[in-house]
Structure 1
């Protein structure tokens, strides 16, 4: 399977509700509720979950697992200057048991380790996922009678376990230095950068995606080199004009990048930054 992560949008809400039902309905089987009552209960629980996440983690990045054109899961991660919190990860039952969750969790563990930030989560008692977390190096740090608090302590298993090669991830063991390269910006997908325009405008921009710049059709033969396009998402206001801005990643230095606003919608303002390193083929 070719699994990719994409930022969640309002169009994913129906899927998230179905995913919640798929994951949690088994917890209510013993109640013997009529199907309409069970559906109503699950809908209420889902809304409560969404509201709770939005209140507790207002800046969390919500991403959807896609298998081709099919949504199969979600991962919700809240990252701050002091910690990374895995708020939720869930996969449809039809796709479980294939190591998908483990692969993406390894990527998150590597990212937390590289940033020297604690990676934390909570898991319900008796949830089989606890065994996966323990294999990855998470240890129990507390609990409230319903949930177990865990934190990543040992990264040894990450190095010993093979990692899949997804488009957005660096290869195993690779340390990507900060720089104006596609490889570096791909490590920032799903993360925010502090942006300051020449006119003093300041806002957080989310790195949505990084794509290779396609070769033009016709004309002389070219080598693409490290040509790529970065897509950012920011608030509707304040907005940045077509101009350079200083973008600063967490734990990094400011980088001057030419931003071009390309789309305005309910999710905010979308920008692109093009890095064209194409040269004539020798």
Structure 2
């Protein structure tokens, strides 16, 4: 189990070819940044974006935000050079597009060595191989590429995302089984706050750690959705206190708000408080 223990409520895509965006990202309240060398960069700008991003990361200023670089697929003319360049960048991880099997990650690791790997989960075969991908020893995160998955599956858009639920669930189970981060896909209509909030709530209820975002305007909603609520924090504290009191009396369970509290509930309560502490520390930066 890898257990990447840090807040990942908001994971913002930033184009690697845009100096202004790279600079602005230093002051945004995002838990992680995906510096994109793939979809957000035009073909003729890719070599320059690689150099620009390297300079930006060397300059620093991104604090404790997790810094992930999404490279081009290794089958493209840019992928291998991207992978080599990331090794020299001040990045925390490299994100590989369209991962279909653990062999894809292994091919990347042959270039990037011990650098932590993240996998874009965006193909039907990737969904079917999710458990094996998550089990790769260098894999620390899985990012849902819901747009590409929907395209490959030929689905129609539905606000409840029912056509994608099986794929989302397979990747989520794989991530939880192997202790890697699970990040939900993007919400395309960045001005639709209600729709974003609904999709964030769905992702949080399913168990995702956070959501990928395409615009800074989405940060506040995602950060709120994937943070413990005041009621959850209060309940967690009361569950721990009641359980500790019960154990001191020689009892195995406690009762809070008319519900049984066992050790598994206390473990969840402690995780809730630890997550809130980590969020508070990151936010105070």
Indicate whether the TM-score tops 0.5: no
- Structure with greater strand share of residues: 1
Find the structure with the greater CA-based Rg: 1
**RCO higher in structure (CA 8 A, sep ≥6):** 2
Range class of TM-score, shorter chain? under 0.3
- Structure with greater helix share of residues: 2
**Structure 1 length-normalised TM:** 0.27
